[in-house]
Structure formats: C-alpha cells, structure tokens
Chain A
Amino acid sequence: MSEALDVSMPASDQTYFAYAQGAARPVSPEPAQAPGSLPELVGGRYRIERLLGVGGIGAVYRARDLLREQFGDPEPYVALKTLSEEFAEYPDAHALLYSEFALTARLRHRHVVRLFGFDVDVTSRRAFITLELLKGPTLDQMLLEHPAGLPWPLLRSIALPLLEALDYAHRLGVLHGDLKPSNVMLADDGLRLFDFGLGQPLDSLLPGLPRLARHRFTAWTPRYAAPELLDGGELTAAADIYAVACVLYELSAGQHPFRRLSAKQAKAMSLDTDLARPPHLPAHCWPALRQALAFDPADRTGCVGPLLEAFRRNQPSRWRRWLGLAQG
C-alpha cells in the first residue's frame, strides 16, 4: 500500500488522472488486465441487490453484507460505490477511488456520509468503497417536489446542516469539488453530504494524500462548477462556495440562479447583473448568498462562515421588523 511511486509523467498516451507530480504512490499496482464487469458478489462478501444511483464517473449499489448477515445483523446492508466501467479501465482508477476514501474517512461529522472500507474485488479487479446505506430523498428530488422553491423554515433546516458539513470539511482541509443537489441526501436521521470523488486535500492541512491532477483530468457538473474550474483552475474553497450557493439559491427559488446554464455561459451573458433575491429567502441572507455567487473568485469569501452565519440568523418576526423600521 505504501510502495514508492515513480512520479514522472507516464510515456504512454493512456489517460492518467489521479495523481499530480509530487504526490504519493498509487495505492495499488496498475492492474495487468482491464477490469471486468462488476460481479453480483463483490469481494466474496457483498451481494449486489440494486443500483441506487449513477453520477457519471461512479455508480452506487445497495449490497447485502453476507458476513454481517451470518453474525445475525438484522440490517446487514451497505452502499457500495465503484467507478463506472468506463473509468474503471483507467490505469490509476483504484487510486482515484482510494483518494475519495482517504479524504472522506478523515471526516467524522453527523452530516457527512460515513465510510466503512476500501477494497478491491480480486476476480473482477474492480476497486470499491463500502459506506453507510442512507434512505431518503436527495435535494434533486426535493426540487422536483417543490418547483416554486422551499419555504424558509424548510430551506433553513437544510441549509444549516449542509453549510455546517462543508465548513467542517474545509476546516479539516478537505475540499468537495462536486457539490450539487444529487450529492446531498435528507436521510431519516439527518442530512448527509456525500461523494467526495472529485475532492482535494488542502496542501497545508493534509500533506501526503493523493491528489487529483486537474490539469490531466478535469471533471465537473456544468451547472454547479465555478467559472474558474471550467477555465482549468485549481479547486479552492471558493469554488465549493460557489457550488453550494447555486444549490441554496435553487432550493430557495425553485430554479437555478443562472437559468441552468454553466457559469461560463452565464458570465458571458452577464446574467449576474439580473440576479434577484428569491422570494422565499429572507433579506438578511441575500448579501452573503449574492456574494457567494460572484463569478470572480476574488469577490467570494474564502470560507463558509459568512453564509453559515447568515442562515443561522432566523428571520426576524414581523413585530421586530416593524420595530426596526419604526426605529429607523
């Protein structure tokens, strides 16, 4: 697992994407053969039951843990994530998935998904992560159910744990890199932020962890990626803040802030000049949210704090607002 890596760029024309120069060695040796299809029994232990979701790069299944079942666990279910077959064929695909595991495993927060383990299925040579199985709608589904946006109390009950989870991750030096409604779930026991598959460690806080080399592999979700990422820039906390602001705006207004366009398209059309406060959003939250949606990263704050602070303040009562106005 800790074997040294020759970090020079590979001479082949295969696409390598998981490691930047100077990063640690891959977690597992390059597979001699292309990985096969995901078997129904993974790692001799996890029986695949159904596909829960696909994200473009990875797929998540519900699986029954036969070992836990043998010991009488009444709920022997886990979620099992693999890279989709197309990406599983990349030479350092295992390392990409391990990077997600290594980053997320450092986070212990009630609103961040809990990971169990990383492993490789010997027969198919497919790497996989097991994680807690969550039940509940994603924010995507919430948006379908609330086409006109969420009322403030519901919006606030989602925004606070989401911002707390992101703030916590950033404080520990972990950037998410792909925040979007389908990566946030309202589980039975509370919100969970998941899928750190495009995440990055902050240099200063988590040295030595594998890093995605964005100059060799760029991936994003067009409507939530900050403009600087689309221009090939490095992932920063400010990019995560842009993405979470898009999500919060969409939850509040029922529609994406920039007509579902990418930041690059929206910037070219100067759509930010028309941006108005969604009706469900209290006025006191708007300055922080508006700032977080700035196209220029220098205009955004580099931390979640101001947004979190704004959403923590509850809407003043009508009586208080009247008093405030009366007092000038």
Chain B
Amino acid sequence: MTVIAKAWHSASRTDAGKVRSGNEDAILDRPELGLWAVADGMGGHRNGALASRLIVDRLAEQACEGPLATRLAAIRQCLHDVNRQLSQALTVTTDCPDPVMGSTVIALVVADDRAACVWAGDSRCYLWRGGRLYQLSRDHSLRQQLLDEHAMSAEQVAAHPAAHALTRAVGASERLQLDILEFETYPGDTLLLCSDGLYQDLPADALPAALGLPSASLVLRRLFDEALTGPARDNLSAVVVRR
C-alpha cells in the first residue's frame, strides 16, 4: 500500500439506469494509484461503450509515481493519444463513413497534498469541503455555452432542444482541448466524479445531504438510492473519493 492509498478512500459504482439496455459509462477507481475517473461514452451504445472503456483502461496503465506535474502530463498525453485514435485512425465503411466514437472524461489525480482534475465534456467533479459544495469542473456543453456567452437565463436554456449537446469530448474532433484545475487538498475533503446521468435529475439538496455522510461508500449508496428513485433515463456513474 502506498502513502496515497493510506490517505485516500474511495467507492464507485456504475449502473445502466432504468431505460437503457446497455451501459456506455466506464469508471476507474484506483486509490493505490491516486487516480480516479468517470467516462461517459457517446455515439450509440456500442461505440460509446468502447470509447469510455478505452479511456479508463488506458488511464489505468499510467505510472503512479512522481510529482503531480509529471503524472498530469502523462494523463494528458494518454487522453490526447486516445483522441487521435478515435478521431483520426478509425477504419470506416460505406455504411458508416463518419463514425462517432467518443466519450466525456473527468479524471482526478492526487500526489501528496496536491490534486488535479482533468476533463472534457459534461461529466463533473464536485468538492465537499467544510460543509460547502463546490463544482470544480465547468461543463463543455451547449447549455453552458448559452449561459456563458449568450447571457440566456436558465429557463431559456432549459427549453433549448440541444442544450445537452457536448462542445468537447475525447474522440469528437481532431484537436482535443482539455481543461485542468489544480488545487490543494485537506483532510476531510470529499470529491465526487460523476456522469450527467447521476446529477441531472437529482434535487438541489441531494448532493450536500449525501456528501456530508461519514464514509465514501455511504455517500455513494445515498446518491444512487436517490437517483434510482427518479426516472434514471441515462446510465449513471459516480466515484466518491475522501481524504
């Protein structure tokens, strides 16, 4: 067991939900590596499931030693590599000349007291610290773009038919642009990585109520109990990480 493993505890779960027959989400829960991730595949069940699995399986191969900057560079390289494979190197057919094989990703990496989250798409990272909830990631979605750049109200955006469309994802275009946030961590910090299937139908007070519970597994159970009482139209995934 490494120092990382002693300092951090985590719990994770992915579920197809109530409507979809397959699960396009993939999760990585490796406290011994100080690395966690959620990926939400797009482009139809089969391709999406392969894309999200490829991301988490490749991330799992990354070296777990060295300072945060080194590990972060390796993770970025890995995601750019997968992006190239999915966006430029696929064999295509006449039936499907322009296949979409992509996935969102939100990854969290820790080294000593520092952490970084890396993302593309609308899977999110939340931080629960000192009884307050912070959303660390900003969605790469049309919804977020309409809010930020077109000064539309939340109600107007909600009525937009394509509000959930992604503006960035691994495999979606030749050039992948990742967002990265580095921060200090403190004992008691709880981080939640999740796909939109988990957060989109939860009531506003559900996250603070769950994240204050005493263990990562209790948090996870509460979140899934809550989400699965709702419509659960999408696949839902979460990784809860506590220091």
Give the B-binding residues of A (Cβ under 8 A). 15, 37, 50-57, 59, 84-86, 140-141, 144, 178, 180-182, 197-198, 217-223, 260
User: Contacts A51-B50, A54-B50: A221 and B89 contacting too (C-beta < 8 A)?
Assistant: yes
User: Contacts A53-B54, A84-B50, A85-B46: A178 and B84 contacting too (C-beta < 8 A)?
Assistant: no
Q: Is the CB of A86 within 8 A of B46?
A: yes
A219 to B95, CA, bound (A): 9
Size bin of chain B's contact surface: 20 to 34
A-side contacts of B116, CB under 8 Å: none
B-side contacts of A144, CB under 8 Å: 77, 80-81, 84
Contact of B89 among A57, A140, A217 (CB under 8 A): A140
B-side contacts of A180, CB under 8 Å: 89
User: Contacts A51-B53, A86-B47: A140 and B84 contacting too (C-beta < 8 A)?
Assistant: yes
A-side contacts of B91, CB under 8 Å: 55-57, 178, 197-198, 219-221
Q: Is the CB of B80 within 8 A of A53?
A: no
B-side contacts of A220, CB under 8 Å: 91-92
- Measured CB to CB, the nearest residue on chain B to A178 is B91
A19 to B174, CA, bound (A): 34
Least Cβ distance of B148 to chain A in Å?
Answer: 31
Least Cβ distance of A91 to chain B in Å?
Answer: 14
Q: Is the CB of B85 within 8 A of A140?
A: yes
A-side contacts of B92, CB under 8 Å: 56, 219-222
Contact of A182 among B50, B80, B85, B94 (CB under 8 A): B85
Q: Is the CB of A181 within 8 A of B89?
A: yes
A-side contacts of B95, CB under 8 Å: 15
Least Cβ distance of A57 to chain B in Å?
Answer: 5
Q: Is the CB of B85 within 8 A of A56?
A: no
Q: Is the CB of B93 within 8 A of A51?
A: no
B-side contacts of A55, CB under 8 Å: 89-91
A15 to B94, CA, bound (A): 11
B76-127: which have CB < 8 Å to A?
A: 77, 80-81, 84-86, 88-95, 99, 101
A180 to B92, CA, bound (A): 13
A-side contacts of B53, CB under 8 Å: 51
Among B22, B51, B93, B95, the most chain A Cβ lie within 10 Å of the Cβ of B93
A220 to B90, CA, bound (A): 9
Q: What sequence of 0s and 1s flags, for each residue 61-83 of chain B, a beta carbon within 8 Å of any chain A beta carbon?
A: 10000000000000001001100
Tell yes or no: B60 within 8 A of A by CB: yes
Q: Is the CB of A141 within 8 A of B94?
A: no
Contact of A54 among B80, B86, B93, B174 (CB under 8 A): B86
B-side contacts of A217, CB under 8 Å: 93-94
Least Cβ distance of B5 to chain A in Å?
Answer: 21
15 new A-B pairs (CB below 8 Å) besides A54-B54, A144-B77, A221-B89?
A51-B50, A52-B57, A53-B54, A56-B90, A56-B91, A57-B91, A86-B46, A140-B81, A144-B84, A182-B85, A182-B89, A217-B93, A218-B93, A219-B92, A220-B92
